[in-house]
Structure 1
Amino acid sequence: MNLQTLRYYERRGLLAEPERSLGGHRLYPAEAVTVLKVIKAAQRLGFTLDEVAELLTTAGHRHGRRDAGLQERARAKLAEVEAKIADLRVIASTLRAAVDAGCDDLVACAGQPCCPIPFATIAVGAPDAEAR
């Protein structure tokens, strides 16, 4: 991990500012390595740095509540991921249909009734119920 990332995490409050040597070098405790691993793992699981900060803060203030931290947030993140997967499946299915239909020109294809791409619903951002 580069120094700029460590300093950024310190500024964001994700990592405690370490003590310094007489020469001014940062002296990170062994716990800092664990915190850095937690941050990186949480990011790979889809958590933003703001969410990671909340998880780290909440972990220290749970007071015995099982759902106060990771469990609650993991359930919410899982729901987000599952929704994204469902959207990606619709996208893959639509793209597969476009490939199978031989669509070569978006404008020409959009004008055909047999076009598999739901241009009208994509343009307005509404999900196409039939495509799901």
Structure 2
Amino acid sequence: MRIGELAAASGLTAKTIRFYEQAGLLPEPPRTPGGYRDYPPQSRVRLAFVREAQSAGLTLAEIRSILALRDSGEAPCAHVADLIQQRLAGIERRLAELRATRTALRTLAERAATTDPSSCTDVDICSIIATRQTSDNEGLSASG
């Protein structure tokens, strides 16, 4: 199957298929006498797997490692399970960070709603986001 046919069958562009080939996700296919790529039918299955794995949040490097295991004759499912657990743990950490950021932003939004813009001093830069260092610096300039 030529690259255009594979692109139509997989829902990917020919450019993406070439990229996946260069990235080691799709084996280089044999060429026709005219020099065209001639992909075997299983290329569709492999491309569908790459798309699904990407939509699950796996990186191309992780997907390449899964495919390498499969290509070497090993069942990659234990490796996939480990990658999924690692990805979930990373998402949980990121969610905790985002919740903390949301809390901080809500505090700043409340402060912004009650702050008079004319109360900003040169030292504060912006009193909505005044830092503890600003307070420390005021003490230094008063004593110095």
Q: TM-score with structure 1 length normalisation? A: 0.68
Kindly report which structure 2 residues correspond to 1:70-109, keeping only aligned pairs within 5 A, or say none: 70-102=80-112, 107-109=126-128
- 1:77-109: CA deviations, max 9, x gaps? 111111111111212222222223326777222
Number of residue pairs aligned between Structure 1 and Structure 2 = 112
| Distance in 2 (alpha carbons) for counterparts of 1:87 and 1:56 | 32
| Distance in 1 (alpha carbons) for counterparts of 2:55 and 2:70 | 19
- Who is 2:60 aligned against? 49
- Who is 1:10 aligned against? 21
**Higher-Rg member (1/2):** 2
Q: Is the 8 A contact 2:70 2:76 kept in 1?
A: no
The alpha carbon displacement at 1:71 in A equals 1.0
Specify which structure has the bigger relative contact order, considering alpha-carbon pairs within 8 angstroms and separated by 6 or more residues.
2
The alpha carbon displacement at 1:112 in A equals 6.6
Matched, 1:110 2:135: no
Q: Is the 8 A contact 2:112 2:128 kept in 1?
A: no
Q: TM-score with structure 2 length normalisation? A: 0.64
- Who is 1:127 aligned against? none
- 1:99-131: CA deviations, max 9, x gaps? 233267772223277xxxxxxxxxxxxxxxxxx
Relative to 1, partners in 2 of residues 1:61 and 1:75: Cα closer, same or farther, differing over 3 Å?
farther
Q: Mind listing any 5+ residue stretches in structure 2 that lack a counterpart?
A: 1-11, 118-124, 133-144
- Percent same amino acid among aligned pairs? 28
Q: Mind listing any 5+ residue stretches in structure 1 that lack a counterpart?
A: 114-132
Relative to 1, partners in 2 of residues 1:2 and 1:66: Cα closer, same or farther, differing over 3 Å?
closer
- 1:4-50: CA deviations, max 9, x gaps? 22122112211011122232222222211121122122222222211
Q: Is the 8 A contact 2:29 2:37 kept in 1?
A: yes
The alpha carbon displacement at 1:61 in A equals 4.4
